[in-house]
Amino acid sequence: MLRLLLATLGLFSGYHGLLVLVPLWLAASDASQLAIGAVTGAFMLAAVAGHLLAPRVVDRWSTRGPFVLVLLATAAAALAHLATAAAPPSVFLSAVRGGVYGIGAVVSATAVAHLAPPPRRARALATYGFAAALPGVIGSTAVVYLAEEAGFTAAFVTIAAISLAAVPLLALPAQPAAAEDHAEQPVGTLQPGTVRLVAIFCGAAMAYGALLTFVPVHLASLGAAAYPFVLATASGLALFRWAGGVVVSHWESGITLGVGVGISGLAMVLLSTLPAAGAPLAGLAFGAGFGLSGTATHALLTTRTAWASLGRANAIFNVAWSGGMGLGAIAFGALATATGTLATYVLTALWHALLLALVALWLARSDRWDLRWTRRLG
């Protein structure tokens, strides 16, 4: 499990680093906000296609071999971005990179779920979520710092090196738990309440995609350093992805999701009212809220899922995450172009208020008790 989590650090170092670095690379070449949003949008929407393909990849080739190929492809993509900062080829390259990442995210999460028995699966995946988010604390911040202080070439090469360094960790296969069906029902028969909560999480991910794409660019345009905001957001996300494993052991997933959405909405209010120096505080709060939301949704989908269906469960989770981020980046780019960045922050806060109202409506329904199983697990 330790080797697998360390390899996950390598995979998500490329993900987090390039997600922030490529928009900055284009902005330095005077690309439009619409083009910058299209780059992140293309990455995330292609990642959705990768997520949907991943369960078939797992069924045919298991997890170790595809994981290695994803790491190699991520390193190659990081170096390829150096060849051009023009919008059309950058959008295409981001789409290719997104498809590769989409497969890798599902493969890595499924490998962890295969190793954990159902009673401990929620906490194991919360630890996995921490490992996936931690590179955002170290990797994204270091990459932005490198780009600002040493240049973009050093930043892209560093990402490629980290991805390659993770490959030897997968030289030996891990020992999965027995492929026994511990679930009361497979993920293929999702309850309506479950579908609604996943859709709400997708809406929360839209705001996350917008923030990662445009807030660093906005801060840079004001002459402020971007990496404190990136560091704070990633720190909140990593910490509360891990802490969420404890929370969902005592609270319903729906309640945890609602708390996370509420915190993220308050963060958007802070971002729209604080000066640039206060942006890291808003980022920390947003990361914390989104981290809770992500862990709650992941537990919702995987804790009662049959061993053989874990690939599909993780695909659904990642589709909601990546699809939401892609749509959010595109929508935010269009809104920011039409109304200005600060006005769009306010609209995003109102979007969270709508999502929170939807969670409250779900909790008011009798079918909310379908998720009682999330209590006291692990």
Per the CB < 8 A criterion, the answer to whether 329 and 44 are in contact is yes
pLDDT, tens digit (0-9, with 9 covering 90-100), for 100-124: 999 999 999 888 887 777 777 778 8
For the entire predicted model, the pTM comes to 0.76
Please identify, in words, the CATH class of the domain defined by 2-172+187-374: mainly alpha
Give the phi and the psi of residue 181 in degrees, each rounded to 5: -85, 95
pLDDT, tens digit (0-9, with 9 covering 90-100), for 284-330: 999 999 999 999 898 888 776 666 677 788 888 888 888 888 888 88
Per the CB < 8 A criterion, the answer to whether 139 and 17 are in contact is yes
Query: What H or E segment, with its residue span, contains residue 333?
Result: helix 310-339
Question: What pLDDT sits at residue 313?
Answer: 81
Of the candidates 84, 123, 105, the residue with the CA atom closest to the CA atom of residue 16: 105
Per the CB < 8 A criterion, the answer to whether 244 and 296 are in contact is yes
Task: Using CB atoms within 10 Å of the CB of residue 340, give its burial: 0 to 12 exposed, 13 to 18 middle, 19+ buried.
Answer: exposed
For residues 116 and 122, give the distance between their C-alpha atoms in angstroms, rounded to a whole number: 9
Q: 182 to each of 116, 185, 233, 374, how far by Cα in Å?
A: 12, 9, 36, 15
For residues 279 and 67, give the distance between their C-alpha atoms in angstroms, rounded to a whole number: 35
Q: Name the residue type at position 79.
A: L
Residues 6+ apart with CB under 8 A from 36: 23, 26, 27, 213, 214, 217, 333
- The mean pLDDT of 183-187, rounded to a whole number, is 49
- The mean pLDDT of 245-253, rounded to a whole number, is 76
What are the sequence ranges of the domains in the chain?
2-172+187-374
pLDDT, tens digit (0-9, with 9 covering 90-100), for 287-300: 999 999 999 898 88
Q: What is the dihedral of CA 63, 66, 71, 75, to 10 degrees?
A: -170
Using the predicted structure, report yes or no on whether residue 248 has a pLDDT greater than 50: yes
